[in-house]
Amino acid sequence: MTDRPLTLMAVHAHPDDEATGTGGVLARYAAEGIRTVLVTCTDGGCGDGPGGVKPGDPGHDPAAVALMRRQELEASCDVLKVSDLEMLDYADSGMTGWPSNDAPGSFWQTPVQEGAARLAELMRHYRPDVVVTYDENGFYGHPDHIQAHRITMAALEMTALAPKVYWTTMPRSMMQRFGEIMREFHEDMPEPDPAEAAAMAEIGLPDDEITTWVDTTAFSGQKFDALAAHASQGENIFFLKMGKERFGELMGMETFVRVQDATGAAIPENDLFAGLR
């Protein structure tokens, strides 16, 4: 036996990603006495600036945005009771097709082995029992999410550790429900063209392919408040428009696909730490 606490490491691309997909599990497991480590790979400099100024527009200062988002990230971590925050501080690559994708020093342009070596060092330090990141498509194709996936899987290969590994996902039934809710809040929202609709239909997984359903209903208020801590990006965070009560009703379950496991815990499971305690 060891005195080392059970440890969860979540590897995310940008400030605010930690709250959207894993805010519930970070809060829940922190409350259960598990060490929670958040690794944020980029500085978020391609986010909105003060007053909603967009990247590339006059007055948008990526360095100032990155500083503001660092402060918001720290506030979110306080809300979620994250034990340890680590920032790799690569430059935000922006959305697919933005010129910033090709900028020297951007996360997307960073050699995978370089980023993986830095992450592997953190893994050896914290020795996580569970690691969570995105799937190979970054859930919806964002370059920095894809890169976070790549460096996480490469870092695991560099270490002698054998944690349970999960990729965040969402059941297709819930994706359909979110589409209905978005139309409810935006009655004038046009129907997507067939190609866009087909792409959206591929996001997430069929419900029966999801291995892990974690009930975080009791922590949905913390999750909402963590998202709200990223106030500068509020225009882009649809979930905040629901209000806390509606948010809690819809966002109380976080879902994952287990891709590495040495415990033999049966699936489907309702606990990322099944087989470890």
pLDDT in tens, 50-92: 888 999 889 999 999 999 999 999 999 999 999 999 999 999 9
For 160, which DSSP code? S
Query: Phi and psi (nearest 5°) for 46?
Result: -95, 15
* Dist CA 80 CA 111 (whole Å): 31
* Dist CA 130 CA 235 (whole Å): 32
Residue 249 confidence (pLDDT):
79
* Dist CA 158 CA 112 (whole Å): 12
Query: Phi and psi (nearest 5°) for 17?
Result: -65, -30
Q: How many CB atoms lie within 10 A of CB 124?
A: 13
* Dist CA 238 CA 227 (whole Å): 10
* Dist CA 18 CA 12 (whole Å): 6
Mean pLDDT of each 10-residue bin along the chain, 277 residues long: 84 96 97 98 94 89 95 98 98 92 94 98 98 91 95 97 96 71 60 60 81 96 95 79 82 94 96 97
**Over the range 72-82, which residues count as b (16 or more CB within 10 Å of their CB) and which as e?**
bbebbbebbbb
Q: What is the pTM of this model?
A: 0.90
* Dist CA 111 CA 127 (whole Å): 24
